[in-house]
Structure 1
Amino acid sequence: MPIKLACLDLAGTTIGDIATVERAFSEAVATQGIVPGTGAYARAMVHVHRSRGCPKIEVFRGIFPGNEAQAQAANLTFERSYEGTIERTGLVPTPGVIEVLDKLRGAGISIALITGFSRSTLSRVLGVLGWEDKIDLAISPEDAGRGRPWPDMILHAVLRLGIEDVRQVAVAGDAESDMLCGRRSGASIVAGIMNGVHSRERLLKGGATHVLDSLADFPDLILAEELGAQQVAASVR
C-alpha cells in the first residue's frame, strides 16, 4: 500500500539534542539527591539511556519507584532545565531534516512528529523550531493516552489525519521504543536511524524493518518501497 503518513521521532531523530536531554535528566535527578559520581547516579543514567523515547514522567517513575512525589518533582525540573536551555541556545535540526520534510510533503505524505516530551515542552520545542508549515501534526503522550513503546501516538495520528489503513504508515526513530511503537501500530515501514541513541542491535531487537545511517535516507526508502510495490502489482495484472 502507498505510504500516506510518516511518523517521525523528535529528539535525536529530527533534532540533534541528545546532550541537552541528558543534561536535563542529570540536573533533574540531582535535585532528588542522586548526584554524579555515585552508584545511584550511574544506575539512573543507564535507565535513562535504556528508556529513551518513553514519556519523561515514566522514566522518572522508573528511577523513583513507588515515590510519585519525587518522580513529579524530578520531571518538573527536567522540563524547566530543557526548556530553559532551548530558549537560550535554540535547537539544531539533524543534517538534511528540512529536505526530508520537504521531500515527504512534496510526495503527498503527511508528517506527524511524535515525542516523549510533555505537551508543554513539545509546544516550546515547536515554537523554537518554527516548523508549522512543514508538519501536519505533533503529538505528545498526553494527546494520545499513552506514550512509547505503546502504539497510541501513531494510531492517534492515523485517526486525526484520516489515514485509511495503518499499513500506509512509515515510522522513523533512533530508539528501541520507537521501533516497538511502530511495530505494535502495524506500520509497514519501521526505520531505525543510526545517528541517535541506540545501536543497530537495539533497533533490530525493537523490531526495525530497516536500519538507516541517517534520516536523510528515509524518503528514498519510502519511494523505493512504493516503486517495488507498483512493479509487483503491474506484473500481477
Structure 2
Amino acid sequence: MTVACLDLAGTTVADDDTVETAFAEAIAALGTAPGTAAHQRAMTHIRASRGGSKIEIFRSLFDEARAQAANMAFQRSYDQLVDRHGLRAVPGAADAIERLRGAGVRVCLLTGFGRTTQARILDTLGWWDHADLTLCPEDVERGRPWPDLVLTAALRLGVDDVRHIAVCGDTANDMLTGRRSGASVVAGVLTGAHDRARLLTAGATHILPSVAALPDLILKKTRPHPDQRTEPSVIN
C-alpha cells in the first residue's frame, strides 16, 4: 500500500451522534418538525445516505434553494454542538495515522462534509499536519459514493496503481467509493454509522473493530496479483 484514504466522522473522529443531531436540527430548521412522519422519513433516508456529500443528501430532500439553506443550518448546528461538547479522535486513530505515515504510506483524510465543517474538525483536533492531503466534496465533480475523491487523492499523491490504495470508512458509501475506485483494501470499521452487515453488503473487503487496526492490516499486505481474488475478512 502506498496511500490510505481515511474518512473523518465515525472513522477517525468519534461521532457521538453529533452528525445525526446536526442533520435533525437542520431539517427541523427547514420546517420538517421532529415527531412528524415527514421528519422520520427524512431521517431514515439520511441514515441510509451517511457518508455521502451533505449537500447532495439535502438536495435529495429539498429543492436547490432549500437544500442550500439546510446545508448552512447543518454547518451552524454542527459548530454549535462542537462548541458545547467538543470533538475527540477515535481511540488509536492518531497513532494509526502516525504509524502509516512513518512507514511511508501517504494519508488522505476524506469527508462528506463541506469544506467549512471539515476545517472546523481539523482545527479543533489540531490535525492539519496529520495528513498528506485533505479532500471534501467541493474538491471533486462528484462526492461519495462515486470514486472521485479516492481517484483525486491517487492523482495528487502520485499513485502508480489503484490497487496500492487502501480505503477505510464507517458507511456503505465509503465502501462503494473504495470499490469503485479500484482500491484493493476497502476496510469497514465498526465505530460509526453502519453495521457489519451493511458494510459487507456494500463491498467491504475487511471489517475492523476500528481504524486502530488498519496499520496491522495494510503494512503487512503484499501487492496482489492481478488475477487474485479475495473474500471479505473480519478482524475481531
Does the TM-score normalized on the shorter chain lie above 0.5? yes
SS in 2 for 1:53: coil
5 Å-filtered alignment, 1:41-190, equals: 41-64=39-62, 67-190=63-186
Instruction: Give a deviation string over 1:57-103, Cα, whole Å, max 9, x none.
Output: 11111222xx2111111111001111232244321100110110111
Q: Which has the larger radius of gyration?
A: 1
Amino acid at match of 2:181: S
Shift of 1:32: 1.4
5 Å-filtered alignment, 1:214-225, equals: 214-225=210-221
Please point out which of 189, 192, 203 is paired with 2:188. Answer: 192
5 Å-filtered alignment, 1:207-218, equals: 207-218=203-214
1:11 touches 1:18 (CA, 8 Å); kept in 2?
A: no
> Match for residue 7 of structure 2?
9
TM-score, normalised relative to structure 1: 0.91
Task: Give me the whole-angstrom Cα distance separating, in 2, the residues matched to 1:141 and 1:182.
Answer: 15
In the alignment, structure 2 segments of 5+ residues that lack a partner are 226-236
Task: Give me the whole-angstrom Cα distance separating, in 2, the residues matched to 1:30 and 1:110.
Answer: 40
Task: Give me the whole-angstrom Cα distance separating, in 1, the residues matched to 2:169 and 2:19.
Answer: 16
C-alpha change, 1:18 and 1:153, in structure 2 (3 Å) is farther
Shift of 1:220: 0.5
Amino acid at match of 2:11: T
2:34 touches 2:40 (CA, 8 Å); kept in 1?
A: yes
Aligned length: 226
Task: Give me the whole-angstrom Cα distance separating, in 1, the residues matched to 2:16 and 2:80.
Answer: 15
1:55 touches 1:147 (CA, 8 Å); kept in 2?
A: yes
1:7 touches 1:112 (CA, 8 Å); kept in 2?
A: yes
Task: Give me the whole-angstrom Cα distance separating, in 1, the residues matched to 2:224 and 2:183.
Answer: 17
In the alignment, structure 1 segments of 5+ residues that lack a partner are 230-237
Task: Give me the whole-angstrom Cα distance separating, in 2, the residues matched to 1:89 and 1:202.
Answer: 29
Task: Give me the whole-angstrom Cα distance separating, in 1, the residues matched to 2:201 and 2:51.
Answer: 15
Task: Give me the whole-angstrom Cα distance separating, in 1, the residues matched to 2:211 and 2:221.
Answer: 16
Shift of 1:31: 1.1
Instruction: Give a deviation string over 1:174-230, Cα, whole Å, max 9, x none.
Output: 00000000000000100010121111111111111111111111110112323998x
Percent identity reads 56
Deviates more, 1:218-227 or 1:109-118: 218-227
> Match for residue 235 of structure 1?
none
TM-score, normalised relative to structure 2: 0.91
Higher helix residue share: 1
Task: Give me the whole-angstrom Cα distance separating, in 1, the residues matched to 2:4 and 2:109.
Answer: 8
Pairwise CA RMSD: 1.6
1:87 touches 1:128 (CA, 8 Å); kept in 2?
A: no
Amino acid at match of 2:54: K
Task: Give me the whole-angstrom Cα distance separating, in 2, the residues matched to 1:127 and 1:119.
Answer: 12
SS in 2 for 1:63: coil
1:102 touches 1:134 (CA, 8 Å); kept in 2?
A: yes
2:146 touches 2:180 (CA, 8 Å); kept in 1?
A: yes
Shift of 1:47: 0.8
Shift of 1:42: 0.7
